[in-house]
A = this chain, B = another copy of it.
């Protein structure tokens, strides 16, 4: 099962973190960007090639110490077909280097359409009699719960069929997440608590050998108090935690999403790793040409920061 594999990789590497590859072309070091623009033009093709080169170097630099990458779909869709091509190549390359791939696309729709999204990201599309073709084929996908169970079930069915995972948005890391998620229902529970209850219920059939389900949750590191409450509701859900680093969440904040066994959460950082070579911490030590070493150094610093806090 995906969730068992994820846990085993986390244990092997002693690293409950995931590197987020959410690349704007401006993040790519100048020498790679200029070379790509020279070869392919200062257009989406050039940008997409620059980003692919950037991603591969980051993956090369962290694949032996980090269990998974998280790819934020928006940053690839923004560069059109060429950008989405880079997304697909990045998925393939991550797998070839032994990393698990979480597609962070937050898909959501009514049942029949959720089925199509699930075919796109987790399963495969039927094309002709008995002939199926996978499009993105990630190991896991983030999804949005606004539609209730019929917008989620097709993904759960494919998790079982194709051995994949999903992470359902519960409490997001952004400032205004409370506008909807913190609303108190008439029985005194907040929306994020109600959604957490659904996640726990929907995930029951997918609990693996370590007691965690293929149906996980997203809870931002920027809300430590809510994370404490959610950790107790989400008894079987693995928690994917955005918001550490550039968004302001600390290791202590993120620590609330772990259980006492040191499992139960995986912390994402995107910009702080991708752009480590530009940071105060690393820019003196690593010139732009060695940006990948800065990524590795920051990934190690982050791992140790999290391990110390839990």
Contact = CB atoms under 8 A, between A and B. Distances in A.
Interface stretch (A56-64, A147-155, A257-265, A293-301): A147-155
A72 B37 CA distance: 33
Interface string A86-125: 0010000000000000000011111101101101110001
A165 to B, nearest CB: 19
A192 B246 CA distance: 33
Given A77-B117, A150-B176, A184-B186, A108 B144 contact: yes
Interface of A: 22, 24-26, 37, 42-44, 46-47, 72, 74-75, 77-81, 83-85, 88, 106-111, 113-114, 116-117, 119-121, 125-128, 131, 133, 135-136, 144-151, 169, 172-181, 183-186, 188, 191, 194-195, 198, 242, 247
Contacts of A148: 174, 176-181
Nearest to A153: B176
Contacts of A146: 144-146, 169, 172, 180-181
Contacts of A181: 146, 148
Contacts of A247: 110
Contacts of A22: 113, 116
Name the 8 nearest CB pairs between A and B, nearest first.
A148-B179, A148-B176, A80-B135, A74-B116, A110-B174, A77-B120, A42-B128, A150-B176
